Each structure stands twice: as C-alpha cells, then as structure tokens.
Amino acid sequence: DAGVIQSPRHEVTEMGQEVTLRCKPISGHDYLFWYRQTMMRGLELLIYFNNNVPIDDSGMPEDRFSAKMPNASFSTLKIQPSEPRDSAVYFCASSLRRDRATNEKLFFGSGTQLSVL
C-alpha cells in the first residue's frame, strides 16, 4: 500500500484566498483524522471521521475551516478565507478498527505545508 497520500505537499497563498487540502487514506481504513502542526501549539487534532461521517470537530479552530469525506477514499480540509495565522503543516492520518489494539495505530501522511502570506 502507498500509505496515506496528501496533496499538495506545499501550498502558498495570499490572505483571503480559499485553500483546499486533500487526503487519500490507506485503503480499508475506516477512521480518518486531520491534525495541524505548528511550532507554538504542536500537533493538534482538528476533526475526525468514522466511515465517512464526521464524529468530532471540536478541534476545528473557526468557522473558516471545514472538512468533508464524500467517500471512503477521499477527504478534504478547506479554509475560506485563509489568514496568515493558518500557516502550518496539516497532516491527514488514518486507522483501522479491526480491533481496539489495531485501531489505536495512526498512520500519517507526509503533510501539506501551508503558507498564507
């Protein structure tokens, strides 16, 4: 398996523009997570899905952020409008709930480095 695939790897945009980050989880995984990494706040959970359904979005910082999972192999994280403080690395991760022990293991993508000027 190719692992969790994220695109783009790098995104530079201007304040006010819409940004869409994309993720393809590992085939067969039923949980998908969006994390954000910054120097100040470290790794933070933004939202997660189970079987394509959003379960907990309490980590989403503002209404400017939204996430969707239209099918089991694709998810998007959208920021509209973007602001300089949104600059961070955004990671997608997936896991499989075969059993509790397996479900604990997160597999991360390589991330999207977002810079908002």
- Tokens 């954000």 locate to 36
Q: What one-letter code names the amino acid at 117?
A: L
Q: Which stretch binds other proteins (CB under 8 A): 14-22, 68-76, 78-86, 101-109?
A: 101-109
Cβ proximity to other proteins, 15 vs 43, nearer residue = 43
Q: What one-letter code names the amino acid at 5?
A: I
Alpha-carbon 86 to chain mean position:
13
| DSSP string over 8-40 | -SEEEE-TT--EEEEEEPPTT--EEEEEEEETT
Does position 25 bind other proteins by CB under 8 A?
Answer: no
Which one of residues 18, 28, 97, 117 is an interface residue with other proteins (CB under 8 A)? Answer: 97
Cβ proximity to other proteins, 76 vs 106, nearer residue = 106
Q: Which stretch binds other proteins (CB under 8 A): 18-26, 63-71, 79-87, 91-99?
A: 91-99
Q: What one-letter code names the amino acid at 111?
A: G
Which one of residues 77, 111, 114, 116 is an interface residue with other proteins (CB under 8 A)? Answer: 111
Question: Where do the H-state alpha helices sit in 1-117?
Answer: 100-103
Cβ proximity to other proteins, 57 vs 81, nearer residue = 57
- Tokens 């933004």 locate to 46
Q: Give the residues lining the site for other proteins (CB under 8 A).
A: 4, 31, 33, 42-43, 45, 48, 56, 91, 93, 95, 97, 100-101, 103-111
